[in-house]
DNA sequence: GCGAATTAGTCACCAATCGCGAACAATGTC
DNA sequence: GACATTGTTCGCGATTGGTGACTAATTCGC
């Protein structure tokens, strides 16, 4: 990614790649060639190809494949300097399904969010915004599903929601809401995971819903 | 605002200023000096002062005062050209309370969203994103309140919510939800608006709430 | 083979919330 | 003063959401 040719680019594209790692969110960082233990978000200089394209290129260069989902976070200046010396950076967040092969071990590593090393201030802001945006959008985007493989058990899905929400959910309520929303459909496969009853596998398959005439949720305000 | 001096700026800041105008959202546009009937969002070239500062400067230059609320929308390239020829543009949305004096009549005018003239494609994208973002964030930001004066009647507030949501709300339910969310407090002033009982004036005064342990709203997904 | 342990999936009860119509209150109009 | 008009509140029935307990299917230890 970071091949710095024209010294000061007008703007860079910085990518926050997230996945679930050991009951936490994890972010993929790149070891900079300069310092021994300096880490950075993967980033690209703009090449006049469009922001989405730049972000996709950056992600593909790291992963070898496209993220399951990607969205822009916003533009950042944040006074402080950027590794690429650019005036502004445009942040993108991408979600990686668990199980996707990733280049761990080389100059890349997954860091749990609770244990992220020091980053350039602007990149730290990009990361924080990415995470809070993901958590905010859970209701409007199929975020949890994009962090899971195509087929998953309902318990895995619930754990993913708990991870993102940061709180425990009740099994029965979760499943009732899920079937009411028509988001998943069962497959005819089952998975036996050690001891206990095997779990049925589901896939993400949102269906049309009736308009769902619920009122406004003013209680979400002033949270 | 648009004083174009260094021909090609690296990026511009484009501002979507919204207010309520005749039971619709309205956006403030600027008549470009070139074409007779060509309109544009107010915009600024970057001056190395920070994005927020540029956006605030752009808004202040148009209004003479600061918007009641402002937030970044994102960065846009969108292939097509921008009036300022910049590679990318960073969009901001600002909310103007009804009643705020605004420079209508000069080279500025409010356009209801249903009747916006042709814009540069990128600015059209910025405007559309701004509106949908405002509508999405209603639950998380006090958007409706920022479009109203400091003191307002509950009927006015309800009309504002109806305008933003695009649907009618039931009076009793709206008020119940409102008091339950502890968002407003009554003042000791009343306003008599022609015929009918005078309405009490309220002000936006969010209070701490108990954690409000409601579950996830999966039904909001796949809308 | 058999029961304990473990995990998946469902049911039923109860409380909180919501949609909705109607009542009640306070003012202007005739 | 009767009536229209607008603001404010009440209460009922239906839906939704939180919760514990129940059933189902498998592994493990003996």
Which residues from chain B sit within 8 angstroms of residue A77, using beta carbons? 50-51
Q: Among B48, B121, B157, B222, which would you mutate to test the A interface (most chain A Cβ atoms within 10 Å of its Cβ)?
A: B222
Contact call for residues A43 and A58 (beta carbons, < 8 A): yes
Scanning the structure block, which residue is given the tokens 């502004």?
A88
Cα dihedral value B31, B32, B37, B38, nearest 10: -110
Least confident piece of the model among A63-67, A85-89, A137-141, B105-109: A85-89
Tens-place pLDDT, residues B83-118: 666 789 999 999 999 988 887 777 899 999 999 999
Query: What is the arithmetic mean of pLDDT over A44-61?
Result: 90
A123/chain B closest Cα distance in angstroms: 16
Which of A127, A129, A134, A137 has the alpha carbon at shortest distance from A43? A127
Q: Across the interface, do B218 and A46 touch by the CB < 8 Å criterion?
A: no
Tens-place pLDDT, residues A157-166: 999 999 999 9
Q: Which two tokens stand for residue B1?
A: 């605002």
Residue A199, CB, less than 7 Å from strand C? yes
Query: What is the arithmetic mean of pLDDT over A162-171?
Result: 94
Contact call for residues A209 and A201 (beta carbons, < 8 A): no
Which residues from chain B sit within 8 angstroms of residue A76, using beta carbons? 51
Mean pLDDT of chain A: 88
Band (B4; pLDDT cuts 50, 70, 90): very low
Mean pLDDT of chain B: 88
d(CA A17, CA A48): 23
Residues in a beta bridge with B15: B92
- The pLDDT score that the predictor gives to residue B5 is 42
- The pLDDT score that the predictor gives to residue B139 is 85
Can you give the distance from the CA of residue A192 to the C1' of nucleotide D26 in angstroms?
Answer: 8
Query: What is the arithmetic mean of pLDDT over A138-147?
Result: 92
**Looking at chain B, which residue has its C-alpha nearest residue A78?**
B50
Tens-place pLDDT, residues B46-57: 887 889 999 999
d(CA B124, CA B127): 5
Residue A172, pLDDT > 50, answer yes
> Which residue is closest to C27 in terms of CA–C1' distance?
B197
The length of chain B is: 223
d(CA B159, CA B112): 16
Strongest mean pLDDT among A32-41, A213-222, B29-38, B136-145: B136-145
Which residues from chain B sit within 8 angstroms of residue A181, using beta carbons? 218-219, 221-222
Residue A80, pLDDT > 70, answer no
What single DSSP character describes residue B40?
E
What single DSSP character describes residue A176?
H
Residue numbers 130-189 of A with CB closer than 7 A to any atom of strand D: 170-173, 176-177, 180
Indicate the residue of B46, B178, B220 with minimum beta-carbon distance to A218. Answer: B178
Of the two residues B194 and B142, the one the predictor is more confident about is B142
């Amino acid at each position: 990614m970071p091949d710095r040719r024209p010294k000061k680019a007008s703007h860079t594209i910085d990518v926050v790649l997230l996945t679930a790692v050991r009951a936490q969110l994890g972010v993929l960082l790149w070891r900079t060639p300069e310092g021994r233990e300096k880490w950075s978000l993967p980033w690209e200089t703009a090449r006049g190809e469009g922001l989405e394209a730049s972000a996709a290129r950056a992600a593909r260069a790291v992963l070898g494949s496209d993220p399951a989902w990607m969205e822009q976070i916003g533009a950042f200046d944040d006074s402080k300097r950027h590794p690429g010396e650019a005036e502004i950076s445009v942040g993108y967040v991408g979600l990686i399904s668990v199980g996707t092969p990733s280049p761990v071990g080389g100059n890349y590593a997954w860091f749990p969010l609770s244990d992220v090393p020091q980053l350039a201030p602007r990149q730290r802001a990009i990361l924080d915004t990415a995470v809070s945006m993901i958590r905010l959008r859970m209701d409007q985007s199929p975020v949890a599903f994009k962090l899971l493989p195509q087929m998953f058990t309902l318990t895995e899905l619930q754990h993913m929601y708990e991870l993102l929400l940061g709180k425990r959910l009740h099994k029965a309520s979760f499943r009732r809401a899920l079937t009411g929303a028509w988001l998943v459909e069962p497959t005819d496969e089952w998975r036996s995971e050690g001891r206990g009853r095997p779990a049925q596998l589901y896939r993400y398959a949102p269906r049309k819903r009736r308009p769902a005439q619920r009122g406004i949720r003013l209680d979400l305000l002033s949270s």
